[in-house]
Amino acid sequence: MPKLTLHGTAISPYTRRVIMTLYEMGVEMGVEDFVHIPVSPLTGGTKTPDFIKMQPFARIPVLEDNGSIIYESRTLMRYVADKYMDQGPNLLGDTLMERALVNQWIDIEGHTFSPPVMILVYERVFKPHLHKRPCDEERWKDGREKLSRVLDIYEKHLEGRDYLVGNSFSLADLTHLPFTELLPAAGAFDLIESRPNVCRWWARISSRNAWKRTQQVEPYEF
């Protein structure tokens, strides 16, 4: 019997966040460790009565663990890092304050970094490719401006640092991987490349083996 079932297409950056954490913690896809069910909101999969019973907000990803249901991608990444702490790396932080700083950067990602990234990705990638609607250029330009201001702060913070918190890869870094992955297709990767510290950090975290494997579950065509 599978211990875990992860519901959600790997096209979704939110699902990628969870698959990445599973792989980092040494939890493998397949009958022994976790089963992946690629349900997609684009094909109505999240509006069925069965799905809504499981996740009443009708969103992916959702994790089933021996009868318990948990959702929200950042919750799931924390849960996986917590549950498998004994068999994998410590992605949560080594001390009380380090754990707090990891939480701080996850919140910065969620509330300050990702919103402009999502505008860029939505306007230039998801809208034209998935929804067959044109990009709103004004909104896209505004997204670039907002992201530039945020990345200036990251650039300063990453001076002399390999990772956002402490000396090792943590959920603080991991949480930035999805969505940012799509900045090239969104026509905004120059904002990363033109900032040496951010560029170096991005190259380091995006070349991790677990991330390469996550991307291969459902490689992007864009």
Partner 1 sequence: MGGVTLYGHPQSPYVRRALMAFYEMGVQDFDFKVVSSSKGDTKTDEYLAMNPFAKMPLLDDNGQYLYESRAIMRYIAEKHAGESSSDLVGKDPLERALVNQWVDVEGHSVTEQVAVVVEENFLKKLMGTGEPDKDRADAAKEKLARLFDVYEKHLEGREYLVGGRFTLADLTHLPYTELLPHAGAAELISSRPNMSKWWERISSRPAWKKVQQLEAKLS
Query: Which residue lies nearer to partner 1 by CB, 129 or 167?
Result: 167
Query: Which residue lies nearer to partner 1 by CB, 126 or 154?
Result: 154
Tokens of 114: 């990702």
- Check residue 146 for interaction with partner 1 (CB under 8 A): no
- Check residue 145 for interaction with partner 1 (CB under 8 A): no
Quickly list DSSP for the chain. Answer: --SEEEES-TTSHHHHHHHHHHHHTTPPBBTTTEEEE---GGGTTTSSHHHHHH-TT--S-EEEETTEEEE-HHHHHHHHHHHTTTTS---S-SSHHHHHHHHHHHHHIIIIIHHHHHHHHIIIIIHHHHS-----HHHHHHHHHHHHHHHHHHHHHTTT-SSSSTTS--HHHHTTHHHHTTTTTTT-THHHHTSHHHHHHHHHHHT-HHHHHHHHHS----
- Check residue 112 for interaction with partner 1 (CB under 8 A): yes
Query: C-beta of 209: minimal distance to partner 1 in Å?
Result: 25
Could you tell me how many residues of this chain bind partner 1 (CB under 8 A)? 30
The maximal CA–CA distance of the chain, rounded, in angstroms, is 51
- Pick from 157, 162, 168, 206 the residue near partner 1 by CB under 8 A: 157
- Check residue 111 for interaction with partner 1 (CB under 8 A): yes
- Pick from 29, 108, 188, 205 the residue near partner 1 by CB under 8 A: 108
Query: Which residue lies nearer to partner 1 by CB, 55 or 214?
Result: 55
- Check residue 40 for interaction with partner 1 (CB under 8 A): no
- Check residue 176 for interaction with partner 1 (CB under 8 A): no
Closest to 91 (Cα-Cα) out of 25, 34, 157 = 25
Query: C-beta of 173: minimal distance to partner 1 in Å?
Result: 16
| Residue ranges in 61-100 that form contacts with partner 1 under rule CB under 8 A | 65, 68, 70-72, 74-76, 78-79, 82-83, 96-97, 99-100
Interacting residues toward partner 1 by CB under 8 A: 56-57, 65, 68, 70-72, 74-76, 78-79, 82-83, 96-97, 99-101, 103-104, 106-108, 110-112, 153, 156-157
